[in-house]
């Protein structure tokens, strides 16, 4: 029987409203949690009814019965994260609610705050014995000692130094097994499917190396702009906002060696090895026109809202295979996808050789699925034409597969860390990001709604046919 | 400009009526032949109008204009194949028609007869100088000397000895480049696509060997019975009727090494090498209930109407990979397909390992296409489920791709022998077939409309999961 108290720190923020409360609602609806309570904490003066009401519009077709249940089990606590003395009160508050709802004490702390608060909050949770380092040990089926798990929202720091400091602080106080560094892309069905598909299908492994693969594109294209997040975004930019986390996590799942088992420890071992061996080669940076007039953005800002990167992996499997990453705000479409381009075949035809190589495409958002592009014969002729074999995920399973946060919160409840990022992975990622000396690169302007700056083809010595 | 006179020997037979005349009609309709004449020859007393009328119902949606054109250019000649003196007259008749229609003299002789007549007809065509050995040499673009080509319908003999005799006879009189041994399966779109898809797509070659492939099934399942062909069928049986030709040809396209070029000479070189290295391992034979009561069938007949064979190829690429062939009359469905089963993957999951391996399926009839069966993650769980990636040929190109005989006659016009069988291929196939000592095997009875005899699982030491 699954039971837990969800404690959201930063309960009045956007993430809580748009994603976390809807995810908890879904966990109840889908009977993934049997008994629960929800405590929202924030410095703001508000109440739980207001918080929940603000979130309601992000739940499609909410059912009154389930919504009522959520309301009846939800509470608010006004907490200044920096006032240590308030945490004793907070502790009592949590206990009381647990008692009221006959909960045995399992807790999920969700730090839905900026990373600069992580250390202070963690320290206070620890010093006030709200969470102890030993709560993870009792995560066994046949004992009654409750567990506590702490979820850290991304970004985890803003560079290698800050990430190391946070890691150092939280790992001293808690056990790594209690620490869940979230990257919500790892909760997306097709992302969590990458490793499973690679290693349970015999046909992929022989092809998955520099002998057969020409290059790999990872694309995270956004149609939306910075949406009022000027202050945050202007400090971070595209590379720190999505490359360091989502895109490098996808890259590591695509590139990793075969783990001993498809379990958290082994998956993270092989992912970390990839991130460690990543080398930055080149970048084309861009900024959409009008960015510097956005609210809370420095009018002389050089922050990139677009980045195309060339990376390589210095290991036996991938030596010489470029990984092209492309991301941006205000582009022509919303799409996250991976495109594995195989090498050209030696042409055996006297006429009509294949014009392009084979591609394996993994579409992550907005549509889901695997696509294999092959050459085939056009009937009645010997002409080759590209044809597509596809496995459309949404067609088979419907479009209503759970959202990432629902999957990830369920993984926290189950204690499955395979979809969360380990401290070493975080640090290797930041190390790579820090090696990109952004001020050495020109910032090219691009039109809103375009494919990014025209200069994108200067990324490599050869022409890259971008696939999205 | 394509021009030729089609001369069908055996013009009153079933093949002529059902396939050849409709194919010529289609060649005209699709403008694949610019100028032509058609001469039907047979020992029977009849006329061309009757022959054409009998064929008309095998052409769907025939257009009057094209039909009229066909009628206006068609003739009949009464020919006893064994009366040498009649051939001089036949020669004059052909010349006259060529003159009448201003044809320059290109000729396609189609021997739509039983193989026992091949030698006699060939000899007479040669001795009367209707075809000469040197007509092939002039098959160049800028010279006016006409060509003559001779098409031999299958079966080409009934065992190795008879096939060798025919080959010896015809190769002495004509050049191999003039000789077109037909196997209409090679004219089917998906069959002629096998080599093209294998060798123009980089992803297949690395997987195409005994390291990654577990076994291959080739299935040619027929719903119809022997359809009045009792006399022929009882002499031949399933193995000589379809395994020796269609199924071994498909097998050789699947198994052949990469040819130097995708051209007739090189494709036939590598196909012949496979047929030479084929080894027969085991057979399960069957006969549908009621077969011995069919017209012109020996009431005590031991002829097989069903055969499941295990073959192996004794070369580096295929050593240890069983090729399972299955064919039969009066089975539960009509289907020709190839199923490439990949080896199982090492299971990395603590629970829910893949229950089956990956399959690549090539469907040839009645539906067309490539299908790849993979394991994928079921949403919200870590369960594996099989999913199918497919490239549906009929969906993309429509169901009306040309019939095999239209393609093959067009290849004869173009002088492309890549879809025809060379003498060595024929002989290696018969050698393999002769090595199956049928009388050593029990004939199991099976119900009409069933999947064949239940004993089919005794074919190998392991259980075969038949895919159709």
CB-based contacts of B238, cutoff 8 Å, min separation 6:
B304, B305, B306, B307, B327, B328, B329
Searching chain A, which residue's CA lies closest to the CA of residue B374?
A201
Q: Token digits for A77?
A: 């606590």
B339 carries an active-site annotation: no
Residues A199 and A234 in one domain: yes
Q: Does B142 have pLDDT greater than 70?
A: no
Length of chain B (residues): 468
CB contact (8 A) between residue B261 and residue A348: yes
Q: Which pLDDT value is given to residue B388?
A: 86
Residues A447 and A432 in one domain: yes
Per cent of chain B over pLDDT 90 is 82
pLDDT class of B348 with cuts at 50, 70, 90: confident
Please give the Cα distance from B462 to B356 (Å, whole number).
15
Q: Which pLDDT value is given to residue A219?
A: 98
Residues of A with a catalytic annotation lie at 246
Per cent of chain B over pLDDT 70 is 96
Residues A196 and A171 in one domain: no
Reported as a single tens digit per residue, the pLDDT across B187-196 is: 998 898 899 8
Please give the Cα distance from B125 to B79 (Å, whole number).
12
- Judge contact between A131 and A109, C-beta under 8 A: yes
Mean pLDDT across A443-467: 95
Residue A406 domain flag: no
Q: Which pLDDT value is given to residue A138?
A: 47
Mean pLDDT across A352-381: 86
Reported as a single tens digit per residue, the pLDDT across A142-155 is: 466 789 999 999 99
Mean pLDDT across A55-70: 94
Q: Which pLDDT value is given to residue A154?
A: 94
Residues A304 and A156 in one domain: no
Q: Token digits for B103?
A: 């044809």
Residues B177 and B190 in one domain: no
Burial label for A72, CB within 10 Å (0-12, 13-18, 19+), is exposed
Residues A140 and A198 in one domain: no
Q: Which of A127, A150, A181 is the last residue of a domain?
A: A181
- DSSP secondary structure string, A392-411? EHHHHH-S-PPPHHHHHHHH
- Judge contact between A467 and A193, C-beta under 8 A: no
Q: Which pLDDT value is given to residue B356?
A: 80
- DSSP secondary structure string, A69-125? HHHHTEEEEE--TT-TTHHHHHHHHHHHHHHHTT----EEEEE-S-GGGHHHHHHHH
* Average pLDDT over chain B, rounded to an integer: 93
pLDDT class of B461 with cuts at 50, 70, 90: very high
Residues B218 and B155 in one domain: no
Residues B445 and B296 in one domain: yes
Please give the Cα distance from A228 to A225 (Å, whole number).
9
Q: Which pLDDT value is given to residue A307?
A: 98
Please give the Cα distance from A78 to A344 (Å, whole number).
62
- Name the one residue in this structure whose structure tokens are 């074919």: B459
Residues of A in contact with B390 (CB under 8 A): 389-390
Q: Which of A166, A181, A196 is the last residue of a domain?
A: A181
Q: Does B397 have pLDDT greater than 80?
A: no
Residue B410 domain flag: no
Reported as a single tens digit per residue, the pLDDT across A264-313 is: 999 999 999 999 999 999 999 999 999 999 999 999 999 999 999 999 99
Q: Count how many pairs of residues, chain A against chain B, have C-beta atoms within 8 Å.
A: 159
Domains in chain B, number: 2
Residue A330 domain flag: yes
DSSP A186: G
Q: Kindly report each contact of residues B270-277 with a partner whose C-beta sits within 8 Å and lies 24 or more positions away, as own/partner.
A: B271/B425, B272/B422, B272/B424, B272/B425, B272/B428, B273/B315, B274/B313, B274/B315, B275/B248, B275/B424, B275/B425, B275/B428, B275/B429, B275/B432, B276/B424, B276/B428, B277/B313, B277/B314, B277/B315
Residues A207 and A221 in one domain: yes
Q: Which candidate in B29, B196, B349, B369 is best for mutational testing of the A interface (most A CBs within 10 A)?
A: B196
Residue B306 domain flag: yes
Q: Does A28 have pLDDT greater than 80?
A: yes
Question: Domain limits at B15?
Answer: 3-181
Reported as a single tens digit per residue, the pLDDT across A205-243 is: 999 999 999 999 999 999 999 998 999 999 999 999 999
The answer to which of A28-42, A132-146, B93-107 has the lowest mean pLDDT is A132-146
Number of CB atoms found within 10 A of residue B132's CB: 15
pLDDT class of A189 with cuts at 50, 70, 90: confident
Q: Which candidate in B33, B193, B202, B361 is best for mutational testing of the A interface (most A CBs within 10 A)?
A: B202
- Our measurement of the distance from residue A259's CA atom to the centroid of its chain's CA atoms, rounded to an integer in Å, reads 21
Residues A167 and A192 in one domain: no
Mean pLDDT across A335-349: 92
Closest CA to B330 of B225, B232, B228, B233: B225
Residues A210 and A302 in one domain: yes
Residue B406 domain flag: no
The answer to which of A29-33, A86-90, B57-61, B216-220 has the lowest mean pLDDT is B57-61
Residues B151 and B249 in one domain: no
**Distance from the B407 Cα atom to the nearest Cα atom in chain A, whole angstroms:** 7
**CATH number for A258:** 3.30.360.10
């Amino acid at each position: 029987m699954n039971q837990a108290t969800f404690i959201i720190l930063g309960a009045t923020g956007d993430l809580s409203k748009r994603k976390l409360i809807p995810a908890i609602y879904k966990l109840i609806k889908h009977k993934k949690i049997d008994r629960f309570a929800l405590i929202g904490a924030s410095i703001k003066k508000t109440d739980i009814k207001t918080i929940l009401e603000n979130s309601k519009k992000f739940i499609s077709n909410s059912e009154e019965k389930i919504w009522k249940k959520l309301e009846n089990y939800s509470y608010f606590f006004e907490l200044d994260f920096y006032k240590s003395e308030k945490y004793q009160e907070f502790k009592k508050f949590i206990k009381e609610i647990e008692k009221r709802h006959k909960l045995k004490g399992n807790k999920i702390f969700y730090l839905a705050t900026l990373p600069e608060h992580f250390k202070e909050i963690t320290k206070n949770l620890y010093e006030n014995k709200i969470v102890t380092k030993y709560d993870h040990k009792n995560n066994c089926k046949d004992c009654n000692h409750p567990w506590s798990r702490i979820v850290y929202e991304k970004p985890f720091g803003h560079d290698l130094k800050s990430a190391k400091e946070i890691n150092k602080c939280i790992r001293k106080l808690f056990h790594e097994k209690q620490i869940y560094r979230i990257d919500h892309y790892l909760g997306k069905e097709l992302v969590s499917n990458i490793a499973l598909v690679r290693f349970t299908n015999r046909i992929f492994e022989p092809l998955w190396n520099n002998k057969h693969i020409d290059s790999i594109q990872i694309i995270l294209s956004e149609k939306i702009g910075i949406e009022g997040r000027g202050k945050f975004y202007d400090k971070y930019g595209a590379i720190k906002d999505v490359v360091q986390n989502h895109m490098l996590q996808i890259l590591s799942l695509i590139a990793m060696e075969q783990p001993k088992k498809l379990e958290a420890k082994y998956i993270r071992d092989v992912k970390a090895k990839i991130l460690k061996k990543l080398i930055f080669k080149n970048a084309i940076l861009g900024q959409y026109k009008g960015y510097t007039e956005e609210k809370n953005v420095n009018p002389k800002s050089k922050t990139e809202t677009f980045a195309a990167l060339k990376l390589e992996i210095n290991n036996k499997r991938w030596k010489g295979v470029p990984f092209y990453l492309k991301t941006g705000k205000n582009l022509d479409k919303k799409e996250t996808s991976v495109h594995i381009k195989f090498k050209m075949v030696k042409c055996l035809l006297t006429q009509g050789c294949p014009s392009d190589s084979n591609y394996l495409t993994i579409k992550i958002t907005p549509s889901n699925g695997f696509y294999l592009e092959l050459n085939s014969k056009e009937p009645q002729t010997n002409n080759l034409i590209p044809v597509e074999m596809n496995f459309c995920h949404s067609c088979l399973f419907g479009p209503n597969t759970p959202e990432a946060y629902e999957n990830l919160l369920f993984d926290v409840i189950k204690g499955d860390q395979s979809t969360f990022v380990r401290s070493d992975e975080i640090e290797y990622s930041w190390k790579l990001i820090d090696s990109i000396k952004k001020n050495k690169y020109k910032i090219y302007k691009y039109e809103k709604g375009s494919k990014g700056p025209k200069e994108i083809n200067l990324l490599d010595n050869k022409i890259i046919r971008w696939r999205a």
